[in-house]
Amino acid sequence: MADEYPPEPMPLPFGVKASGELLNPLQPDDWQSMAAPVRVRPRADHLVFAEGVDPANLASAGWGVVFARDADPAIREALQPLLAHRRAQVNSALLYQEFDGARAVRASESARGWVTRQGADFMEVEPANGVPLYLLLVGSPAAIPFEFQYAVDSYWNVGRLDFDTPAEYAAYASHVIAYEQSATVANRRRAVLWNPKNPGDQATGLLHNLVAQPLQASLGARAWLAEAATKSALLDVLRGAGGPPAVLFTGSHGVAFPEASEPQRRELQGALLCQEWSAGQPVTEQHYVSGAEVLAEANVSGLIHLLFACYGGGCPATDNYQRSLPLFTQPITARLPQAMLQKGALAVLAHVDRAWSYSFQSLSGKGQAQSFRSVLDRLLNGERIGQATDSFNQRWGALSNELLDLTRRHQDDPASVPDSVLTNRWVARNDARNYLILGDPAVRLRIADMQS
C-alpha cells in the first residue's frame, strides 16, 4: 500500500495577505485538523433528475425559493416580483414551491434533515415529489450555512441570494426580470477572460498558463492576460467597454486582510488582485478591485461571472483547511459578487474559502482546464447556470468517495496511507466542493437574441 500511495508534495495555495505574504501553506499532517466529517456523494453520472424531467424547461423541472426560519418578511416582499415571474413560468402549484414558515430551514438543520422533512431524499430529483429541481436559497451563510448549500446542490440545482437590505434583493429581482423580458439583449455571445500573471508568483503563473491561455485558444475569447490584466483593464470590462460580454472569467489571487478590523475585512475580503502587484510587495488599493469599486463603476447587465479567487464567493467563520484559524465571527458572502449582482449580473459562480491549484491541475501537475471550459461552453449554449455547473459537483462527489476509502485504510493501517496523501485529498475534495452559485440558479443567457 505504501508503494501505491507514496508521500506527496503539499498543494499550491492561492490567496495573498495585504502584507504581501502568501496565505499559510499546509503541512503533511494538517488533515487531522480538517475535522469535518466526510460527506459522500455516491452518484457519478451526469443526470440527477428523474426520467422525463427537462432541466431547460421550468414547467418540467420546477422552481422553488427557500428561506431561513427567521427570515425578514420585508425580504420576501422585495422578491415578490421575481417569485411571481417564476411562478408564471412554472405554471404549476405542484412544481412551484415557496419554503417558508414551517417549511423553511430551521436553525442548525442539516441538508438531509430539511430534504427529508419536505418528503424527498438524496436521489434522482423528481420535482413532483415536492422539491423542485431549481432552488434559490435566500439568506446569509449564518442563517443557511454554506455546507447546507453544498449538500443540497449535490442533487438539486441551487443558488443563493444574500444582501444586507430588502432594497438590494428588490434590485436583483428587477434586473433578472428586465433581462428576461426585454425586447433586445445588448450582450455579445462571447466570453471575456482576465487573468494576471504576477511577477515572481508561481500560482498566477500556473493559472495563466494552464487555464487562461487554453481557454482563450479554445473559445476564441477576448482576453486580458498577464501584463494586460491590469486594474484599469478589469474596470473597463466591468463598465462594458467594447461591448458587454455574456460571460466573464476572472482568475487571480483573492486578497485577505487578517490585520484589518472585522468591518474592514467584511468589505474587502476576496478583492481581486491585479497585474500591478509583484510577489512580496505589500498590497495597496492600486493593486486590487473591491466590491465598492464594482458598485461605483460596473454596468454588467445580463452577465454571468465565473470568479476564481480565494474568498471570491465568501468566507467561513473558520478556515476549512486549518480549522483552528478563525476568520470571521460569522461566515460571510463576499462583497464583490454581491456588488456584481446589484449592478445587473445574472449570477456569479465563485469559490468560498481558500482556492487551490487542484481546480485546474491534476496530482501529476498536468493542466485540467476542461472543468472551466465545460461551464463556459454550456453557458454560451444557453443552459441554465444551475445545470451548466454540475461538473463541479461530480468532481467533489468522486473525491469524497476516494477520501472515505483512504480514511478507512489509514484507520486500519496508518502506515499504509501517508499523512501528505490524506491532506492532499482533503484539500482537493473541499476545493471542488466549495464552488457555489450566487444568484438564481435558473438564469440563462438569451443566446438566440445575441450577436456573435
Assigned C-alpha cell, 83: 417569485
Q: Which pLDDT score is estimated for 328?
A: 95
Tally the residues of the chain: 452
Which pLDDT score is estimated for 35? 45
Q: In the β-sheet with 288-289, what is the strand arrangement from edge to edge?
A: 16-17, 254-256, 271-273, 288-289
- pLDDT surpassing 80 at residue 363: no
Pick from 322, 347, 330, 337: nearest CA to 426: 322
Say whether pLDDT at 443 is over 80: yes
For position 85, what pLDDT does the model report?
98
Query: What is the reported pTM?
Result: 0.92
- Averaged pLDDT of the chain: 90
What confidence tens digit (pLDDT) does each residue in 57-70 have? 999 999 999 999 99
pLDDT digits (tens, 9 = 90+) for 215-234: 999 998 899 999 999 999 99
The rounded percent of the chain whose pLDDT value lies above 90 is: 72
For cell 491561455, the residue is 213
Between 355 and 346, where is the model more confident? 346
**Residue 244, SS3 per DSSP:** coil
Residue 87: pLDDT over 90 = yes
At the top level of CATH, the class of 186-395+424-449 is alpha beta
Structure confidence by residue, pLDDT tens digits, 236-294: 999 998 888 999 999 999 999 999 999 999 999 999 999 999 999 999 999 999 999 99
Closest CA to 254 of 199, 344, 336, 371: 336
Q: Helix-strand-coil percent breakdown of the chain, rounded to 5?
A: 40, 20, 45
Hey, how many other C-beta atoms are within 10 angstroms of the C-beta on 149? 23
Decide if pLDDT at 440 tops 90. Answer: yes
pLDDT digits (tens, 9 = 90+) for 118-175: 999 998 999 999 999 999 999 999 999 999 999 999 999 999 999 999 999 999 999 9
Domain extent listing, the chain: 186-395+424-449
Q: How far is CA 224 from CA 13, 50, 227, 291, 374, in A?
A: 23, 42, 8, 20, 20
Residues 384-396: tens digit of each pLDDT: 999 999 888 788 7
Examine the pLDDT at 33 and tell me if it is beyond 70.
Answer: no
Tens digits of per-residue pLDDT, 348-359? 999 999 998 888
The pLDDT, as a whole number, for residue 447 is 96
| Cβ contact 284:339 at 8 Å | no
Per-residue pLDDT tens over the stretch 72-86: 999 999 999 999 999
The per-residue pLDDT for 334 is 98
**Residue 27 pLDDT:** 66
Asked if residue 402 has pLDDT above 70, the reply is: yes
Please check the confidence at residue 41 and state whether its pLDDT lies above 60: no
